[in-house]
Amino acid sequence: MKNLSGRGRVAGLPVWDRCAVMGVVNVTPDSFSDGGRWFDTTAAVKHGLDLVAEGADLVDVGGESTRPGATRVDEAEELRRVIPVVRGLASEGVVVSVDTMRASVAEQALGAGAALVNDVSGGLADPAMIPVVAAAGAPFVVMHWRGFLEGGNVKGVYEDVVKEVVDELHARVEAVLAGGIAHDRIVVDPGLGFSKEAEHDLSLLAHLDRLRDLGHPLLVAASRKRFLGRVLAGPEAAPPPARERDAATAAVSALAADSGAWAVRVHEVRATADAVRVARAVEGARTAGPAPLEMNERGAREVGKTPGAEREPGACGSGRAPGISGERGAEGAR
């Protein structure tokens, strides 16, 4: 199928027949949308398991906020937050991604059972990251990044955001390949919200095909981000709080899935899990094509009907499907 074949596969990870759903577990006190809610190990592991029960295919565990202006935590604290959660989820059979910019955290998380390293800096924040991931043979997410979100990096300046992001990602992917990470273990992420304004994020979403042309599976992480708040509020009103942007997030998930994204990263899983499954069903129907149109005895066109076939009693006008009695079907009324 067109989008399925273009979605790509990541060596070392399961293969899904649709856009995968990556649930988020922030083991932080200060993340922009849910800081503090899962700050202890027991709560974080339970939340990760709940996300899987709601439809997440993999869970991304992070111990450092990357919101604009956030203060970096030290290495020991990040390890304390992340490693027990990674170990706890992996021991339950969950496919775990570790969200970190530190090579030491990535290395210990992989040793604790993580299957994927998701580095928002694409290996730029820590020169040891690429060698560590390459040595482990782990898959690696390369995100578009122009530096820590402070000072002039909070708002990006672009002449052509799509071209510049694609070009900068291409250059970063080449560096990652040169560092020893295998081609089939690289995922790219346009970095929505990182040094970008709402119009930049929307342009990138409108041109995901250009990002897919890089030749690697594509991760889209739009969940609850500022640009969605701007879209929902309009030009004058204040944006809704982050946790009130989940329906908008699910809409982006459906669009991304239909555009061939490999995975979407979200805080609230259930709606997005439904959205990507609907997108997959529509994709299948698009590939299969419409049922043939045939002419009935009166010259009217009917979908998938053989000319001259008898219409089963109750097939039209009675409010019942053919062959179903007056009792409700197995699903009951909706």
* Span 244-273, pLDDT tens digits: 999 999 999 999 999 999 999 999 999 999
pLDDT per residue as tens digits for the range 15-41:
999 999 999 999 987 544 544 565 689
Buried/exposed 53-86: b ≥16 CB within 10 Å, e otherwise: ebbbbbbbbbbbbbebebeebeeeebbebbbbbb
Average pLDDT, the chain: 85
Question: Are residues 314 and 253 both part of a single domain?
Answer: no
Q: Does residue 163 lie in a domain region?
A: yes
| Domain annotation covers residue 240 | yes
Band (320; pLDDT cuts 50, 70, 90): very low
292 located within any domain: no
Write the pLDDT tens digit of every residue in 118-154: 999 999 999 999 999 999 999 999 999 988 755 545 6
Q: How far apart are CA 100 and CA 46, in angstroms?
A: 21
- 209 and 60, same structural domain? yes
> Per the structure, how many domains does the chain have?
2
pTM of the model as a whole = 0.82
Give the pairing type, strands 96-99 and 58-62: parallel
State whether 184 and 318 are in the same domain: no
**Same domain (yes/no): 33, 104:** yes
| Residue 113 belongs to some domain of the structure | yes
Q: Do 121 and 37 reside in the same domain of the chain? A: yes
Q: Is residue 24 part of a domain?
A: yes
* 191 and 302 fall within a common domain: no
Q: Which of 87, 196, 226, 265 is catalytic?
A: 265
Residues 164, 303, single domain; the answer is no
Cβ atoms of 288 and 280 within 8 Å: the answer is no
Angle, helices 103-111/75-91, rounded to nearest 10 degrees: 20
One domain, residues 22 and 75: yes
Q: What is the pLDDT at residue 306?
A: 40
Residue 46 maps to a domain:
yes
Nearest to 173 by CA among 214, 207, 134: 214
186: burial class by Cβ within 10 Å (0-12, 13-18, 19+)?
Answer: buried
Q: Residues 229-232: contacts with CB within 8 Å, 24+ apart?
A: 230/198, 231/198, 231/202
Of the listed 225, 226, 245, 280, which one is catalytic? 225
Amino acid of residue 273: A
Task: Judge if 75 and 166 occupy the same domain.
Answer: yes
Is there a catalytic annotation at residue 46?
no
| pLDDT in the model for residue 329 | 34
CB of 166 within 8 A of CB of 210? Answer: yes
Give the mean pLDDT of 292-317.
45
| Paired residues of 98 in beta bridges | 61, 117
Same domain, 305 and 236: no
pLDDT band per the 50, 70, 90 thresholds, residue 4? very low
- What pLDDT is attached to residue 37? 64
Q: Residue 314 is part of which domain span?
A: 298-334
- Asked, for residue 140, whether it belongs to a domain, the answer is yes
For residues 275-304, give the mean pLDDT: 71
Q: To which residue do tokens 């008898």 refer?
A: 310
**pLDDT at residue 301 greater than cutoff 50:** no
Catalytic-residue membership of 265: yes
